[in-house]
Amino acid sequence: MQFTPVHPVFGARVTGVDLRRALTPAEAAEIDAAMNEYALLVFPNQMIDDEQQKAFSRNFGTLEQATGNIQTAAERRLDMEMADISNLDQAGQVFARDDRRRMFNLGNMLWHSDSSFKATPAKYSALSARAIPSSGGDTEFADMRAAYDALPDSDKALVDDMVTHHSLIYSRGLLGFGEFTDDEKLKFAPVRQRLVRRNAMTGRRTIYLSSHIGEIEGMPRPEAMALIRDLVEHATQRQFVYTHKWTLGDIVMWDNRQTMHRARRYNDTGEVRDMRRTTVEDVAPSLAQAA
């Protein structure tokens, strides 16, 4: 395998591997080590199907159930191990402008870390481009190690031991979407996460930010949200951001412990964008891991 950096601080393009077939343990270990180092890997020209994508992700942990949406089981286009990041309903039609599922999914345009709203959040996400629009629909990624390192020492000391609360209700609220059923409110009840994490393999610290954050323990809410905004603004300065322009067949895998990402705008009521994500869980809640 060849690894070619795609950005000055993180990310690499990987060639010399075919993700349609089973990886050897040595190949899986090489990719895992590269994930810890680069935090994001781009695998171009990998036209794989859902089963192959799931098998690829399983090399790195337990597949997460795709429960982070408001689709009912009967409305799903894909199975529970595939997160549907498309703009399509079960019949393959693009969502209408005022469709509740579309409005909920627009939350992906806010900077986030996948499943930070789950007690045990996501480790690696792998997103595969099965259909892309003629323009727009890039994905941006930001390196939370570089962002942490660049904080002034006084800010590092301020945030190092903070505990945050994450929920899908908080991130959707930022876009003015607040119509949740009682069942959804229970399903999306806030979870606690560390604000600063350490990568056990590399020892590097990361700032664990996400638009799902709605509270910092021990702080009045407006003060907490103003601080989180400030930190997100700092962490997403252009020098920490890689923009991925999709080509059909790309697979991008990122480490949610070390990066944030967001979707960019496209004509989602007129063009099809079929992206499918497999996600592996972290080994434990962030608070159960070493600071």
Size of site (CB under 6 A) for ligand OGA: 10
Query: Does residue 114 touch ligand OGA according to CB under 6 A?
Result: yes
CB 236 within 8 A of CB 260: yes
DSSP3 helix / strand / coil % (the chain, rounded to 5) = 30, 25, 45
Q: Shortest Cβ distance from residue 200 to Mn ion (Å)?
A: 23
Residues 84-103 that bind ligand OGA (CB under 6 A): 85
Q: Which of 46, 139, 236, 286 binds ligand OGA (CB under 6 A)?
A: 139
Q: Please list the alpha-helical segments (H only) found in 119-167.
A: 144-149, 153-159
Where on the chain is the footprint of Mn ion (CB under 5 A)?
114
CB 13 within 8 A of CB 252: no
Of these partners, Mn ion, ligand OGA, none, which one is at the site of residue 263 (CB under 5 to 8 Å by kind)?
A: ligand OGA
Query: Does residue 197 touch ligand OGA according to CB under 6 A?
Result: no
Q: Closest CB to ligand OGA among 23 and 132?
A: 132
Q: Which of 275, 278, 282, 286 binds ligand OGA (CB under 6 A)?
A: 275
Structure tokens at 87: 């703009």
Burial category of 202 from C-beta neighbours within 10 Å (exposed 0-12, middle 13-18, buried 19 and up):
middle
Of these partners, ligand OGA, Mn ion, none, which one is at the site of residue 9 (CB under 5 to 8 Å by kind)?
A: none
Which element (helix H / strand E) includes 50? Answer: helix 50-58
Structure tokens at 81: 């191990």
* Strand arrangement of the beta sheet that strand 191-194 belongs to: 191-194, 163-166, 213-216
DSSP summary character for residue 118: S
> Which of 277, 254, 14 has the alpha carbon at shortest distance from 141?
254
Of these partners, ligand OGA, Mn ion, none, which one is at the site of residue 139 (CB under 5 to 8 Å by kind)?
A: ligand OGA
Q: Shortest Cβ distance from residue 122 to Mn ion (Å)?
A: 8
Query: Does residue 113 touch ligand OGA according to CB under 6 A?
Result: no
Q: Closest CB to ligand OGA among 162 and 280?
A: 280
Residues 255-274 that bind ligand OGA (CB under 6 A): 261, 263
Rounded CA separation 39/43 (Å): 13
Residue at 165: amino acid letter:
H
Q: Closest CB to Mn ion among 23 and 147?
A: 147
Query: Does residue 66 touch ligand OGA according to CB under 6 A?
Result: no
Residues that bind ligand OGA (CB under 6 A): 85, 108, 114, 125, 127, 139, 261, 263, 275, 277
